[in-house]
Structure 1
Amino acid sequence: MMAMRPRHWAGALALWALAGMAGAQPVKVGVIGPFSGPSSDFGTPMLQGIQLAVEQFNAVGGYLGRPVELVVKDDQGSPDTGRQRSQELAKEGVVAALGFCNTGVAMKSLDVFQQAKLPLIVPCATGTPVTRTYPAAQSFIFRTSAPDNIQAPFVVEDILRRGWTRVALFADDTGYGQAGRKDVEAALAAHQLTPVYATNFPLGVKSLAPQLQAARDAGAQVIFSYTVGPENAVIAQGRKELGWKVPQVGGWTLSFPFFIQGGKDAAEGALTAQTFIAEPSNERRASFLSTYARAFKGRPAVPMAAAQGYDAAYLLMYALLGIRDGQVNGPALKHSLENLQRVYYGVVATYERPFSAEEKEAITPNMLVMGKVQAGAVTFAYPEDAKRNLLVQRKR
């Protein structure tokens, strides 16, 4: 018999592991998000990041020889649809769920998971109330995206360092926009500042020219926008049409195709809080980006969504490995997530005890970097951030 070359061992082991799982009862994990409709541009990368992690986990044996099986539900970015799909997941035997990209959709469904005692890890939705709805010790709601109550102060600190103190605040009327508006106002108030102009607007608005003119008349030096869809581009294009050369800043949604492609040259130079920028700044991130590109034939439309989905899935699977008796259920997974024994060397961060009974947020401010829209993509706004990003940050 011919000796197997060392480089072939990894592939052979993966095949043997998969053969061993054939016929084994799967561990069902729910995935819910906007996989159709306007929010699918970041829902789909989230799903793909999760799928990539689960495929890798199953390839090396899964959980005690059992594969993880994803039960995928499309919430279409609709709160009512999201609640219905969440109820379906709770009835279909999942032990936990990963998902939600829209804060308003998540908020309408949280009680489904809480009452069913099913851990939910949120990889994308950033609204501050998501993890504050229930007392931390009793909460089954975890998160691997940066909440707006750290994104907003991070951006405010940056614009103040640049000398921009007269802020115009534009927020949509969704749960995301309104929660974000409160966080921005609180961050400004911490510096004894208030917006010189603030307005709310509905999704789908095609022009904000009167509001932009009012902000200009108020002497705003910068526009802080909080919206998730093409309305960010409406703001950028409207500012351009006015010939008003002030910067636009905001949370992670300024890295979405709706803004970058819709805003075109008017989007150039926008500043956005990021946990992950799609540049191969270290081996872990380079490996993730190349593996993703091979699997899905290109780079993710929203790299943060893909990376955070990937890390969320691995944290859940590490929690599975912490249940050594094979008795997997929601409360056991919650306890394991709160007491992870292994360090997970992730793409966004190095996760050493990311959660506890009193802490359901995995991301801390030191993990954020300032991104800048440049030539149709997001890169580092500061060279020092690019250098710091060579090291994957740990929780502080």
Structure 2
Amino acid sequence: MRFLRPRQWVAGLVAATALLSSHGFAQTASQPVKIGVIGPFTGPSSDFGQPMLHGIQLAVDEINAVGGYLGRPLSLVVKDDQGNPDQGLKGAQELMQEGVIATIGFCNTGVAMKALDVFQNAKSPLIVPCATGTPITAKYPPAESFIFRTSARDAIQAPFVVDDLVKRGWTKVAIFADSTGYGEAGLKDVEAALAARKLKPVHVARFDLGVKDLTEPLKAAREAGANVIFSYTVGPENAAIAMGRRDLKWDVPQVGAWPLSFPFFIKGAGPAAEGALMAQTFIAEPSNERRSSFLTAYSRKYNQKIAVPMAAAQAYDTTYLLTYALFGIRDGKFTGPAVKGALENISRVHYGVVATYERPFTAEDKDAVTANMLVMGKVRNGAITFAYPEDAKRNLIVQRKK
């Protein structure tokens, strides 16, 4: 398979600009195109909020270097929601007042859910590159919805992980879910995935964010006969589960959705995190030239490794998808319905770092990621790698939506 050389996929934007200019749509460089960005850039969720922001900024720099939108640079209007639903609502309202043409954002499901009405009522598109709670893109009828997503919703992550558990013979599942909107939605998705396999959890534990000691619920799960722990929380609580299991000398695996790839878990749990399994769309290994280029560019720009690679890669791809959509609007009038329609009808294939995007959205489908794009990640020596050699081989070919 032929892959694009590093940065070469930017040429698609140059070609689009030239095409529009040749048809008389070029405009004199003038006011920037304002794009909203909202996420937890400080506070307990900043470990994946910051990589999301960095991925967006990296893409914007590349896009502006080749002309932006017909000479108009993309300009980011950034709001920090601090992982707090009330702050997220306030930030969303401020973005609408500042006249952004679309918004990329939200890492926390509960924060996103409180703010969705702001975007929907204003008819202003929101593209969610991180938050995975299933209700985010299910709140409104698809044809009417202005809410799009480029992260893997939990409704596909949970069955993906459950299928893997069944293959391994780990069918006595204890679910540990926090009390946030993310944990609530994730619990329902895991229970539904188990029910599809004619299974039920042997134990369910609920807890608030900030809990330090989960010894008692872990003891209850052990007494119930659990042979695997499926955790659904975004912060240090994942590490508390791993540390508690270690202290009890209870040697069962811990599995979950993508937060098990976060520094809060890997660094917080230390050796107790080793072997944990989680769903991933992107693993930071240079498996092809697109990914190698992205990882190199990120490291060069920010002088650091990516704390949560999925957050950065999905946000990076999202920024390109939005820009490609804008080139479908040939008069530069970025009304909300016009941008929504353009996102639903992106005509060019975008060769991203997470996936190859061909019609990622339609009027009836606002989720860009499908189950075939997932791989199983594993904590090994304090980093995330592929759990299976076959996934590493399959990852050489960037997947398309099914």
Structure 2 length-normalised TM: 0.93
Kindly report which structure 2 residues correspond to 1:43-192, keeping only aligned pairs within 5 A, or say none.
43-192=49-198
**Structure-2 separation of matches of 1:329 and 1:176:** 31
**Structure-1 separation of matches of 2:247 and 2:224:** 18
1:354 matches 2:360: yes
How far is the alpha carbon of 1:23 from its aligned partner?
Answer: 6.2
How far is the alpha carbon of 1:326 from its aligned partner?
Answer: 1.6
**Structure-2 separation of matches of 1:328 and 1:221:** 53
1:31 matches 2:19: no
Query: Is the contact made by 1:122 and 1:145 (CA closer than 8 Å) also made in structure 2?
Result: yes
Query: Is the contact made by 2:29 and 2:71 (CA closer than 8 Å) also made in structure 1?
Result: no
Question: Does the residue aligned with 2:379 lie in a helix, a strand or coil?
Answer: strand
Output one character per residue of 1:374-394: Cα deviation in whole Å (capped at 9) or x when no partner.
Answer: 011100000000000000000
**Structure-1 separation of matches of 2:197 and 2:371:** 18
**Residue type matched to 1:120 in 2?**
L
Query: Is the contact made by 2:27 and 2:70 (CA closer than 8 Å) also made in structure 1?
Result: no
**Structure-1 separation of matches of 2:59 and 2:82:** 23
Match of 1:327 in 2: 333
1:295 matches 2:301: yes
1:219 matches 2:219: no
Match of 2:207 in 1: 201
Of 317, 320, 344 in structure 1, the residue corresponding to residue 323 of structure 2 is 317
Match of 1:4 in 2: none
Match of 1:5 in 2: none
**Residue type matched to 1:104 in 2?**
G
1:340 matches 2:372: no
**Residue type matched to 1:347 in 2?**
V
Question: Does the residue aligned with 1:310 lie in a helix, a strand or coil?
Answer: helix
Match of 1:371 in 2: 377
1:263 matches 2:269: yes
Match of 1:280 in 2: 286
How far is the alpha carbon of 1:130 from its aligned partner?
Answer: 0.1
Question: Does the residue aligned with 1:106 lie in a helix, a strand or coil?
Answer: helix
**Residue type matched to 2:376 in 1?**
M
Match of 1:243 in 2: 249
**Residue type matched to 2:71 in 1?**
G
Output one character per residue of 1:304-339: Cα deviation in whole Å (capped at 9) or x when no partner.
Answer: 000000011111111111111221221111000000
Query: Is the contact made by 1:271 and 1:381 (CA closer than 8 Å) also made in structure 2?
Result: yes
How far is the alpha carbon of 1:273 from its aligned partner?
Answer: 0.2
How far is the alpha carbon of 1:299 from its aligned partner?
Answer: 1.4
Match of 1:252 in 2: 258
Query: Is the contact made by 1:21 and 1:61 (CA closer than 8 Å) also made in structure 2?
Result: no
**Structure-1 separation of matches of 2:246 and 2:374:** 29
Match of 1:6 in 2: none
Query: Is the contact made by 1:131 and 1:360 (CA closer than 8 Å) also made in structure 2?
Result: yes
Question: Does the residue aligned with 2:206 lie in a helix, a strand or coil?
Answer: strand
Query: Is the contact made by 1:83 and 1:109 (CA closer than 8 Å) also made in structure 2?
Result: yes
Match of 1:3 in 2: none
Match of 2:48 in 1: 42
Query: Is the contact made by 2:177 and 2:232 (CA closer than 8 Å) also made in structure 1?
Result: yes
Query: Is the contact made by 1:126 and 1:145 (CA closer than 8 Å) also made in structure 2?
Result: yes
Structure 2 residue runs of 5 or longer lacking an equivalent are 1-9, 18-25
**Structure-2 separation of matches of 1:35 and 1:387:** 34
How far is the alpha carbon of 1:341 from its aligned partner?
Answer: 0.5
Output one character per residue of 1:251-286: Cα deviation in whole Å (capped at 9) or x when no partner.
Answer: 000000000000100000000000000000011100
Structure 1 residue runs of 5 or longer lacking an equivalent are 1-9
Query: Is the contact made by 1:206 and 1:231 (CA closer than 8 Å) also made in structure 2?
Result: yes
Query: Is the contact made by 1:274 and 1:369 (CA closer than 8 Å) also made in structure 2?
Result: yes
Query: Is the contact made by 1:173 and 1:200 (CA closer than 8 Å) also made in structure 2?
Result: yes
**Structure-2 separation of matches of 1:67 and 1:242:** 56
Q: How much is the aligned-residue C-alpha RMSD, in angstroms?
A: 1.4
Output one character per residue of 1:192-248: Cα deviation in whole Å (capped at 9) or x when no partner.
Answer: 110001110000001000000010111100000000000000000000000000000
**Residue type matched to 1:196 in 2?**
V
**Residue type matched to 2:149 in 1?**
R
How far is the alpha carbon of 1:21 from its aligned partner?
Answer: 9.8
Moved over 4 A (4+): 20-23
What's the % identity of the aligned pairs?
71
Query: Is the contact made by 1:264 and 1:376 (CA closer than 8 Å) also made in structure 2?
Result: yes
**Structure-1 separation of matches of 2:380 and 2:27:** 46
Question: Does the residue aligned with 2:31 lie in a helix, a strand or coil?
Answer: coil
Query: Is the contact made by 1:28 and 1:94 (CA closer than 8 Å) also made in structure 2?
Result: yes
Match of 2:6 in 1: none
How far is the alpha carbon of 1:110 from its aligned partner?
Answer: 0.3
Question: Does the residue aligned with 1:298 lie in a helix, a strand or coil?
Answer: coil
Structure 1 length-normalised TM: 0.94
